Amino acid sequence: MATLDDHRDGPRDECGVFGIYAPGREDLSRLAYFALYALQHRGQESAGIATAQLGGSVLAIRDQGLVSQVFNEHMLRSLVGDLAIGHVRYSTTGSSEWENAQPIVRDDSRTIALAHNGNLINAVELHTEMRERGVPFRSTSDSEIIAALLSTHPADDVEDAVADVLTRMRGAFSTVIMTEDRVIAFRDPQGLRPLALGKIPGEHGAPDVYCVASESCAFDLIGARYEREVAPGELITLDAEGMRSRLVAPAQRHAFCVFEYIYFARPDSIMGAQRLQVARARMGEILWSERPVEADLVIPVPDSGNAAARGLARAAGLPQDDGFIKNRYVARTFIQPGQALRKHGLRLKFNPLPEVVGGKRLIVVDDSIVRGNTTRQIVQMLRDAGAAEVHLRISSPPIKHPCFYGIDMSTREEMIAHGRSVEEVAAEVGADSLHYLSLEGVYKAVRGERSAHCDACFSGEYPLAGTEDSGGKFALERVELPLAARR
């Protein structure tokens, strides 16, 4: 059952990562803190920062909770150092326990702190192989497998270890690691999850400071400039020599997650060389051109439908207004309502405005529908508030297949679009009409080539062999590593 904090019953992203090499900056841990703060939407279960002084030891603080809950002034002051990495997490592999919070720190033949966004599809195989070699594990997360592969690797140079390990892992991994003297970032050969490079220009002859983050919105908050995306299969090193790059795992086919453009990433981030707010507005324009309808007013489902609603209203020449007021203070710790109140549950998050929607033929814009529970309630609330007609416009195609690449989605059977026509979904949620943006429309809006992206949750065409969706069951079970593996 969806909880209140999960009002959109939608997919949840797994993680956000950050890394910076900034010797001499007294505010190092503060830079990491604010970068994570900007990435909070990518994971709200745990947060952590690890720092190191050049040649010294690695310090780490991580815990369950939001960035603002995990860290206080005293903790940030204690995290001294010259380089840092950070992480926010929502778990898809491994349960939500303290041990699974990141950065993970392993101290085997070398010390490695690691922050990972993604999902290894050969985690069980790699884990078994390592346990047979006697490598102990503390957590149930696939991310510790990457840390262990690197911390036990025989190569003298950690970059050579990364280059080797990168070719042995399969799946999605945008990863940032830290040793006592460098930060290394790398991305899987398909580039499934995002990773960007930023720079704080040096002032008065000081060297430039480089950083990496899941999204460019993290750079804006710390005075860094977005430089470029880390390329799929690329290894980037930040150390005393500045920034170095090696393409260590070129792939014939890239497969960046197209859902990042539509849903996961913050609208002020830049991906695929464009500001997502702008791309999302284009999605709204194309939605209108694909299926216009006679209507009086366009309203977004806040905030997920805001940008597309603006684009749609502009293209349609229709007025746009707020049909709902959103309570922005519904926290994850919110006390769940009892059974009697549950049917009003969504009102704790959204309250419709009868004066705005009453008697109107509405176009209601949102970015996705997964299970449909929330959408059904939204349509009903609008009808109760007096709406004459409710026409739903969704800025993504129907979600019909699960994700194996780091996004937690419902199972296929729970997805309302699975096995139903668009008309049947419209009837299920009680809308007068429903239109989903076509895949062609998505690629037109993001100005990208389909051949360089993953759209498996819409199309069922998985870019990695072994993750084909198999008749309503997960082809690959969620990896829950055996408890016996813990130390």
Q: Two tokens at 439?
A: 């895949």
Q: How far is the CB of 456 from ligand SF4 (least distance, A)?
A: 4
Is 15 among the residues known to form the active site?
yes
Contacts 24+ apart (CB under 8 A), 317-323: 318/363, 321/297, 321/356, 322/353, 322/356, 323/297, 323/299, 323/352, 323/353, 323/356, 323/357, 323/362, 323/364, 323/382
- The residue among 312 and 457 lying less far from ligand SF4, judged by its C-beta, is 457
Looking at residue 304, the DSSP 8-state letter turns out to be T
Residues in the chain: 487
Q: How far is the CB of 258 from ligand SF4 (least distance, A)?
A: 5
- The residue among 102 and 396 lying less far from ligand SF4, judged by its C-beta, is 396
| Other CB atoms within 10 A of residue 261 CB | 27
Task: Indicate which residue of 15, 217, 403, 454 is catalytic.
Answer: 15
- The residue among 179 and 190 lying less far from ligand SF4, judged by its C-beta, is 190
Interaction site with ligand SF4 (CB under 6 A):
192, 257-259, 403, 405, 407, 454-457
Rounded CA gap, 272 and 282, in Å?
A: 15
Distance of alpha carbon 33 from the chain centroid: 18
Q: In DSSP terms, which residues pair with 324 in a beta bridge?
A: 352
Whether 211 and 224 have beta carbons less than 8 Å apart is answered as: yes
Q: Two tokens at 117?
A: 């966004």
- The residue among 20 and 407 lying less far from ligand SF4, judged by its C-beta, is 407
Whether 292 and 44 have beta carbons less than 8 Å apart is answered as: no
- The residue among 194 and 198 lying less far from ligand SF4, judged by its C-beta, is 194
Q: How far is the CB of 103 from ligand SF4 (least distance, A)?
A: 23
| Other CB atoms within 10 A of residue 418 CB | 17
Q: Two tokens at 375?
A: 């959408």
Report in angstroms the alpha-carbon separations of 166 from 56, 231, 256, 300, 432.
27, 14, 17, 42, 50
- The residue among 92 and 151 lying less far from ligand SF4, judged by its C-beta, is 92
One-letter amino acid for residue 175 of the chain: T
- The residue among 226 and 256 lying less far from ligand SF4, judged by its C-beta, is 256
Rounded CA gap, 222 and 28, in Å?
A: 10
φ, ψ for residue 261 (rounded to 5)?
-65, -40
One-letter amino acid for residue 132 of the chain: E
Q: How far is the CB of 454 from ligand SF4 (least distance, A)?
A: 3
Q: How far is the CB of 264 from ligand SF4 (least distance, A)?
A: 8
Whether 325 and 300 have beta carbons less than 8 Å apart is answered as: no
Residues 6+ apart with CB under 8 A from 93: 119, 120, 123, 140, 141, 142, 143, 478, 479, 480
Q: How far is the CB of 467 from ligand SF4 (least distance, A)?
A: 9
Looking at residue 151, the DSSP 8-state letter turns out to be H
One-letter amino acid for residue 313 of the chain: A
The residue with tokens 């707010």 is 277
- The residue among 52 and 276 lying less far from ligand SF4, judged by its C-beta, is 276
Q: How far is the CB of 453 from ligand SF4 (least distance, A)?
A: 7
Q: How far is the CB of 465 from ligand SF4 (least distance, A)?
A: 15
Q: How far is the CB of 263 from ligand SF4 (least distance, A)?
A: 8
| DSSP calls for 53-72 | -TTS-EEEEEEES-HHHH--
- The residue among 76 and 192 lying less far from ligand SF4, judged by its C-beta, is 192
Catalytic residues, which ones? 15
